[in-house]
Amino acid sequence: MARAAGLSVRVRLTLSYAGFLVLAGVLLLAAVWVFLLRYVPDRAMLIVPGSADTLTPGVFPVRSNLLRVFAPRAAEILVFLLAFGLFGGWILAGRMLAPLTRITAAATMAGTGSLSHRIRLTGRRDEFRDLSDAFDAMLERIESHVAEQQRFAANASHELRTPLAISRALLDVARDDPTRDRDELVDRLHEVNRRAIDLTEALLLLSRSERAVVARERVDLSLLAEEAAETLLPVAERRRVTLDVTGGAAPTSGSAELLRRMVTNLVQNAVVHNLPGGGTVTVRTATSGDASVLRVANTGPPLPPDLVPTLTEPFRRGTQRVRVDEHAGVGLGLAIVRSVVRAHGGTLTLVPGPDGGLLVTVRLPGPL
Phi and psi torsions of 56, nearest 5°: -70, 135
pLDDT mean over 264-283: 88
CA distances from 339 to 205, 259, 271, 334 (A): 10, 11, 21, 9
pLDDT of residue 24: 86
Phi and psi torsions of 5, nearest 5°: -60, 140
Check residues 282 and 196 and name the one with the higher pLDDT: 282
pLDDT of residue 32: 78
pLDDT tens digits, one per residue of 225-243: 999 999 889 888 888 999 9
b/e per residue, 284-294, with b = 16+ CB within 10 A? bbbbeeebbbb
pLDDT of residue 328: 47
Residue 131 has, within 13 A of its CA and on its CB side, a CA count of: 12
Residue 211, pLDDT above cutoff 60: no
> Please, are residues 266 and 362 in contact by the beta-carbon 8 Å criterion?
yes
CA distance 48 to 56: 9
Using alpha carbons, select from 304, 330, 299, 337 the residue that is nearest to residue 316: 330
pLDDT mean over 163-174: 78
CATH of domain 217-365: 3.30.565.10
Quick one: CATH architecture of 130-209?
Orthogonal Bundle (1.10)
Report the sign of the C-alpha dihedral through residues 351, 354, 359, 365, in that order. Answer: negative
CA distance 213 to 291: 18
Residue 294, pLDDT above cutoff 60: yes
> Please, are residues 261 and 268 in contact by the beta-carbon 8 Å criterion?
no
Residue 323 has, within 13 A of its CA and on its CB side, a CA count of: 17
The whole-chain average pLDDT of the chain stands at 79
Strand-pairing partners, residue 252, are 219
pLDDT of residue 319: 44
pLDDT of residue 251: 94
What does pTM read for this prediction?
0.57
- Residues whose CB is less than 8 angstroms from the CB of residue 215 and which lie 6 or more positions away in sequence, other chains included: 255
Check residues 211 and 80 and name the one with the higher pLDDT: 80
Residue 291, pLDDT above cutoff 90: yes
Band of pLDDT at residue 246, cut at 50, 70 and 90: very high
pLDDT tens digits, one per residue of 22-61: 888 888 888 877 767 666 666 655 555 555 555 555 555 6
Strand-pairing partners, residue 68, are none
> Please, are residues 352 and 305 in contact by the beta-carbon 8 Å criterion?
yes
Check residues 71 and 289 and name the one with the higher pLDDT: 289
pLDDT of residue 356: 86
Phi and psi torsions of 253, nearest 5°: -130, 140
Using alpha carbons, select from 175, 103, 156, 165 the residue that is nearest to residue 134: 103
Domain ranges of the chain: 9-111, 130-209, 217-365
Helices (H), 112-181: 127-176
Residue 326, pLDDT above cutoff 50: no
Band of pLDDT at residue 321, cut at 50, 70 and 90: very low
Residue 285, pLDDT above cutoff 90: yes
pLDDT tens digits, one per residue of 59-70: 556 667 777 777
Using alpha carbons, select from 238, 251, 241, 283 the residue that is nearest to residue 265: 283
Q: What is the CA radius of gyration of the chain?
A: 39
CA distance 366 to 368: 6
> Please, are residues 279 and 298 in contact by the beta-carbon 8 Å criterion?
yes
Report the sign of the C-alpha dihedral through residues 37, 38, 39, 42, in that order. Answer: positive
Helix (H, G, I), strand (E, B) or coil at 279: strand
Phi and psi torsions of 47, nearest 5°: -100, 120
Band of pLDDT at residue 358, cut at 50, 70 and 90: very high
Residue 106, pLDDT above cutoff 70: yes
Band of pLDDT at residue 324, cut at 50, 70 and 90: very low
